[in-house]
Amino acid sequence: MGGLIMVIENDEALGKVMRDWLETVFMECDVLVTRHDNGADLAVRARPPGAILIDVDTLGAACMEAIQDFKREAPDATILALAMDDHEALREDVLEAGADACIRKTDMGDRLLPLLEEILGPNAGLTHYKGRRKTVLCIEDELEMIKLIELTLQRGPFRVLGAVSGQQGIDIARHVRPDVVLLDLMMPDMDGWEVARRLRADEELRDVPIIAVSVVHPSSYPARELAVDDYVTKPFVPDELLRRVGEIAQVVA
């Protein structure tokens, strides 16, 4: 198969996110993101990809026709449909249209990346680490962001645990004592400022490094009052997040 991954995504922001983490994980591959209605079929004919990822959620009713079109234009490409909910009816529809698999977006780390590595070959650039993996606790109320961070950090010797609320994050931290905490600030039940305060007040957790990952700019007044070790602003560059976590976790490349 060729070293090209094509992403069919009509949402520009989501497309950028997909391109960033795919380029981070598969360093030797090209990633092309295009809209379904913006010459995607011509791009497929010009350079047949090894894999085509189609976000069926943003394409809506047009997704089945799109899958059929790409199957016709690139019969050797593996077509993977991505959906928030890969229920049985949707799976049957996309497989009948010509997709090779339907993958739930929350399972992308477990299913999508191994599939892509198999499709693109051993030189695709997916990095594996041996030895002890550092534990990173990601406290973030958006599940998709947790999965994106998990996918980003898979290039390093990290295992990522997710917590979807501040209190859940504190509870998990007390049980596992993570090596690094990635902390969102804008959460509904308990904001990041309070989570950081409680972590710093806990004798067992006060020395655990905390990296704030937030849309709130670090130069703003409330951010300056935050007791953290580092700060990454959303949207982040995957390589930069990986580097910052590695530095603070004292990972030697």
Residue where a domain stops, chosen among 91, 120, 149: 120
Average pLDDT over residues 8-32: 77
CATH classification at residue 76: 3.40.50.2300
With 90 as the cut, is the pLDDT of residue 25 above it? no
Assigned domain for 46 exists: yes
With 70 as the cut, is the pLDDT of residue 43 above it? yes
Average pLDDT along the chain: 83
pLDDT at 36 (0 to 100):
77
Residue where a domain stops, chosen among 63, 90, 120: 120
Assigned domain for 177 exists: yes
With 80 as the cut, is the pLDDT of residue 42 above it? no
Residue where a domain stops, chosen among 120, 151, 177: 120
Of 241, 153, 38, the closest CA to residue 7 belongs to 38
With 90 as the cut, is the pLDDT of residue 41 above it? no
Average pLDDT over residues 131-159: 85
What would the pLDDT profile of 122-139 be if each residue is shown by its tens digit? 656 554 444 467 889 999
Average pLDDT over residues 6-28: 77
Which range among 31-35, 109-113, 126-130 shows the weakest confidence by mean pLDDT? 126-130
Assigned domain for 180 exists: yes
pLDDT at 34 (0 to 100):
86
Q: Residue 91 to residues 6, 80, 117, 131, 190: CA-CA distances in angstroms? A: 21, 11, 22, 37, 37
Alpha-carbon distance of 111 to 8, in angstroms, equals 18
Of 149, 152, 155, the closest CA to residue 163 belongs to 149
